[in-house]
Structure 1
Amino acid sequence: MDGAQANREDALSAIVVLLRDDMEAVNRLIVRHMDSPVALIPQLAAHIVAAGGKRLRPLLTLAAARLCGYPAGGERHVALATCVEFIHTATLLHDDVVDESALRRGRASANALFGNKPSVLVGDFLFARAFELMVGDGSLEVLRILSAASATIAEGEVLQLMTQNDTSTTEAQYLEVIHGKTAALFAAATRVGAVLQERPAAEEEALDTYGRTLGVAFQLVDDALDYAADEAVLGKTVGDDFREGKITLPVLLAFERGDEAERGFWRRTLEERDQTDEDLAEAQRLIARHGTLAETFARARDYGRQAKEALGGFPDSAEKRAMIGLVDYCIERAR
């Protein structure tokens, strides 16, 4: 492990260690609320939960609540962090069906093992459990924030379907997609931390900005890694976005900067879905030629800077330092 990788892992470890007791409580609650007398539900839900992931979104809820002074040993932030994770997991189940994905975090996806219909229905079950947890919290503001985020995620996914295979997609449309499908839940996850402690509106807005800009940075990095990362590190098949015809920033920039022959390549492979075994390598060559991965990472770092600046009004604390470190981890992961 090189020094940069060690620093990234240290940044993740810092927040995991800081919130270990809270996260253990979240994991227990996840298991409890996945239970059902219908045996396939906990079996399939347990498969995707056991696949791992960093639990970034529930970590953000816990960290934001603690940053705002929510007491250790409380229960509301644990329940809401669990709610956030259920919303995220439900969207993963649905996304893998829509994208016909065979891998999720390096393992066979739930739809590959159990089929599309069970995956969609168990995703619905997890959404329902999330709403039970929201209602159980008793705060109408919490319910408003998380339910609005759930609707926005769905809108983002539908918008992505509308722009898929369309090389005329603009950067503004692309950013609208990732603000919806990714950043909205990051923003809601952090904002509810301030709501729990009834903090001033300015702090709510600051945490919303932190989560939203971190979410955009996270997705920009994801979209770049699909053309650059090692498959074992990425946890899914490299080139999935290309094979599915998704229009992401590295492609948008390469299309804009390419000559007519290069644009013809993108139209054939993404719009017409006419791809050969050699086309992914050619796509990577064109992206490298125009430097669009480096620019995508640079844009991610700019959003990361905005996320850090959003925390400027909060006093120094272990939680604030951990949340700042998490920004660096999300941007520099797998590089």
Structure 2
Amino acid sequence: MIIDCHTRLWSDARQLGLETAETLAKSAPKSWAEPSGDSAAHGRATSCIDASFVIGHRADLVGANVPNELIADYIGRDPHHRLGIAGIDPLADTIEHDLATALDLGFVGIALSPSLAGFHPTHSSAMKVYEWCCEHGLPVLVTMPQPIPSAAVLDFARPIHWDEVARTFPNLHIMFTQMGYPWIDEMLVLAGKHKHVFAEVSGVATRPWQVYNALSTAWSLNVMNRLLFGSGFPLSTPQLAIESLYSVNVSIKGTLLPPIPRARVKEIVERDALTSLGIDFSTITGSQENSTKIANKGAIQSNEA
């Protein structure tokens, strides 16, 4: 089974905040696989995998609000292959209503962006949200959507700030998007310390040298089992991200650096993210053949067995 733990969707770029919308209006980042996060492109990109998380976004500091109702409507068109993650801002005046709505809409988790919403992960309002998540069995996804607006508080994105959260709520499942980039090592150390801390590999997966270093560090720290697959759509697509992961050893070819075993990469791509994050969603039926088919389509493959 292949589950993409990080995809995004919006109907209007202004839902990402005016500054971000203006940036995208000038030109979509050249590194993006798709120029926008519309539903048609999302459907095409995720047709090759078994399921995907569709992540909402709410960060009042930067004027971002992708309506959770928009996400729910899209999920409802194919509920067996899409899982909704509600975008939540703990500092919003409507926080209690937003959390209740997330439950009513059938979301399986919530997504927070401390940097873009401007709150420290241990802010009292945020701690109440984590407590609520524990009560309802929902995981927390920690995000920092790109491009990053100037008002974002980068320090609040550091994974190390979540150590107190994980100690206070040991049963809370936490997943960092993009391996906590740019603080990848912090995230990996945190995962080694707390059994319910995970990360997905989008963004990093499509940067050859960075993904090798990230996976090498994860392997040395014995936390490869905390890594989940993610493409970061529209930053990339599941197919491109999987091909890039299986090509992880290309950048060290001809060197004495130790290769990442292909079997470990396969485990990341096919790991059961639902079980890892404590999500009960039994209607998804997966095929382990998908990963191999996609990997074999890559133009460059790692020779490591």
TM-score by length of 2: 0.31
TM-score by length of 1: 0.29
- Considering fraction of residues, name the structure with more helix: 1
- Considering fraction of residues, name the structure with more strand: 2
